[in-house]
Amino acid sequence: MKHYKAYLLDLDGTLYRGKEVIPEAASFVHKLKEREIPHLFVTNNSTASPEEVASRLQRMGVPSESGQILTSSIAAAAYLKTKPVDQTAYIIGEKGLHQALRDNGITEDHHSPGFVVIGLDRRISYEKLAAACVAVRKGAVFISTNADTALPTEKGLVPGNGAMTAVITTSTGVAPQFIGKPEKIMMEQALTRLGTKAEETAMIGDNYDTDILAGIRAGIDTIHVNTGVTSTDVVLAKPVHPTYLLSSMNEWVLSS
C-alpha cells in the first residue's frame, strides 16, 4: 500500500449510511487525526453547511471541523465567483446551498437571474422546476451541484440531485455544468485546500461514478470501499479500476 500525504474522504456510503455511522471508517478517521495526516471530507451533499456536516460527524463519533468540509454547495459558490456573469441566481436547493451562495455575494433573483443553480431539494415542486426551465431558456447559466442519481440511506437508495437536474435538461435541452464529483472542479478545489499534489493524495469513496471517477479524472489514486452505492462486482466490470478495492476501511494500513 502506497504512503499518501493526505486523504480525501466521501461521506454518504463511505463514513455513514443515512443516520448510521460505518464503524471501520470512523476508526480510520481517528487514526488520521492521531497521526496528524491532513484530510478533507468531500461531499456532493449540498443540503447542509460545513458547520452542520461537522456537527453531524462529531455526533457520530467522527472527529471533524467545519474547515475540513468541502460540500458541493461551497464548491459551486466558488466556481460561480470566477464567471463573468451577473452574480444573481434562481436557486433550487436547501439551506446549505442558499447559505453558500449568499456568503459569496450571490443574490437571489426569481425574474432575470444570471444563473440557475440546483441542488438536492427534498421539497421539490413542479413550480420550482418550471421557473428554473423558464430562466434557463432565457439564457441563465445552468449549474447543478452534482449528478448523483441515487443516495444511500439506511432504508436503501433514494433519488438524488441528478434525477431532479435531469428534469430541467429534458425540458430545455440544456445540459448543466456539474460541480461535484466526478468533476475535476471540486477535486482541484480540494487539493488547493489540502496543499498537496494529486500524486500525493488518495480519494476514498463508495460510488464509482462519483468518488472514484473524480479521482481518476483528476489524476488522484482511488480507494473504493464496498459499503455504499457501487458493489465490488460492478466496479470490476468498469473499464478503469480504482487503485485499490477494499471491503471496508479496516483493510487499509497507514504507513508508520
Burial of 200 (0-12, 13-18, 19+ CB in 10 A): middle
SS3 content of the chain, % helix, strand, coil (to 5): 40, 20, 40
Q: Is 211 a catalytic residue?
A: no
Q: Is 10 a catalytic residue?
A: yes
CB-based contact 33:47 (threshold 8 Å): no
Please state, in angstroms and rounded to a whole number, the distance separating the CA atoms of residues 13 and 36: 24
Of the residues 12, 121, 148, 206, only one is catalytic, namely 12
Helix (H/G/I), strand (E/B), else coil: 222: strand
Please state, in angstroms and rounded to a whole number, the distance separating the CA atoms of residues 157 and 228: 9
Q: What is the full DSSP assignment across 117-160?
A: EE---TT--HHHHHHHHHHHHTTPEEEES---SEEEETTEEEE-
What is the number of other CB atoms lying within 10 angstroms of the CB of residue 20?
10
Of the residues 10, 148, 206, 211, only one is catalytic, namely 10
Q: What is the full DSSP assignment across 83-98?
A: SSS-SEEEEES-HHHH
Q: Which residues are catalytic?
A: 10, 12
